[in-house]
Structure 1
Amino acid sequence: MASFNPLARILEDNKLSGPNYVDWKRNLTIVLRAAKVYYVLTTVAPKVPDDNATNEEKGKYNKWLEDDDMAKCYILASMTNVLQHQHQGLPTATDMMANIKEMFGEQNRTARFITMKSLVSTKMVEGTPVREHMLKMMGFLNELDVLGAFFDAESQIDIILASLPQPFDTFVLNYNMNKLEVTLSELLNMLQSAEDLLKRNRKSAFVVEGNVPKAPKSKGKGNKKKGMGSKKHTPKVVKNKGGFKKKKSQGNDGCFHCGKTGHWKRNCRSYLESLKKGKPSEGIQGN
């Protein structure tokens, strides 16, 4: 009886009244599992053994009857008096739960939909501890199990792996390639180890990147000297103001108009004829 009192206290504090159906079912499931009689709700009742049945078959049947009676007691003890009178005549615990679900199942359906939506929409935020995310996802899965939504072990793992952020892509790839099969608790430990490795890799990358020497900034393009620069120095060409080139004379007595020797400009026929015609001289100025 010592082990019964704590369980009875849970049921006493959470009696089924109608609107609290979802919470009541959750607490009842905890109690039935703690008492190791929850299996009578999930397994088919054994057949009544005949006269030719073995002692082992008779023992299994009697054990199931005892556990089913225990489960019915827990269920009835967790109800209000009115609900107790409505269910105490039902033959098995499974029949009781089916009738209760028919009465308050709409709440169960709504709660299951909300929990399912939360499960599939929850994504781990990069940088948050993976342990917190895993416990949150496991809580959703347990809630759905209580509400009657069944996921096999492989599907539960797939849902959790799909909710992980990009840094865990390598972990997910290795998990699927190696075709691992683990429990949720084992997956939690594996993800924590992967998280520690990611943190060490990020820290190492930061240290290496911080020690890379920076290249000196150049103050200009090339080391050109001031003054000459890259352009060639071109001397200026000085032109005569008259706009013509000087013709080299062939002596001191050469004509500066026509360039011929033997006379000066003032005696040059060509020069004199140009003066008569009023044309400016095109020869070399001088003489």
Structure 2
Amino acid sequence: MADASGSSTAVSGRYNLMGCIKEIPTLKGDNYTEWKKKIDLAFILAEVDWVVTTPCPIEPMAPVSETNMADAAWTTRERDFASQIMSYDLEHRKWITANKKCLAVIKNTIEPAIVGSISECDTITEYSERIKSQFTRSSKTYATQLIKQLVTERYSDNDGIREHILRMSNLASKLKPMDLALKDEFFIHLIFASLPKEFDTFVINYNIQPEKWDMERLMAMCVQEEERMKAVNGGSINYLKDNKKKNNNANSSSKSKEKGHMLHQPQQNKFTIEKDQCLYCKKMEHYKKDYPDYLKMIMAKKGIPFDKDYAKKRKTR
């Protein structure tokens, strides 16, 4: 019965491990944190995670007969040693199998170029440490990218405040394996800084009160404030933008009304131009271009001295 139970457990663990391998992303250099999380999950579900923290069993030393040792005592010592050897063989075989599986999973979820750059190891613990040390430098670059994304993250009412906080929490959680975990109080202020100015009063009320919120309290209060603001402003947080649009629509409609009003106004009588009539003084027998007062005005605007005989010269030409 014990053998059948152990066999079924082994089969179950094998199939769990095979199923989890499909969910493990290929380690490419910039996704070490996500890859490590999936690897750890696969080992736990396959019940081989113990091999990462458990050293390989050491073979017991064979007993040595002492001087004047009784035959019965020696027989007992040999019998105990046989039992130890049997237990060692079982534990050693179990450890070797689990270690081999873990090494195979890790090597088959890493890009070939990266596998070639990591020296061979006999244990999964040592191999994992070498991978971690190799990606320390790349993890620093990844950490910088995460911090930049956290600082520049901004709220959008299309997604909602809950999704916004969860998205920022996910980014912050990726910093924990790099020893860059953010304190809750600092992270709460970082979330407040990402909210639009419509939340200013809400943030000020939090800052003036002595109570400090945890993440659950923050989530509940932000969702409540978002619902209140949407109820007040017709379902949108960015109500200032909506008002601008409404004002623009109102201005355009008013302009169209003015145009329509102008179209419906009776047209005034247009001035009829006679032949040889000046358009500047409305007198006859000369044109605007030859009228001295008009020329004087134009030349004064351009800073040109006016010649009184200029009009006469133009007529004689």
In the superposition, the TM-score normalised over structure 2's length comes to 0.42
Q: Whose helix fraction is larger, Structure 1's or Structure 2's? A: 2
Larger Rg: 1
In the superposition, the TM-score normalised over structure 1's length comes to 0.46
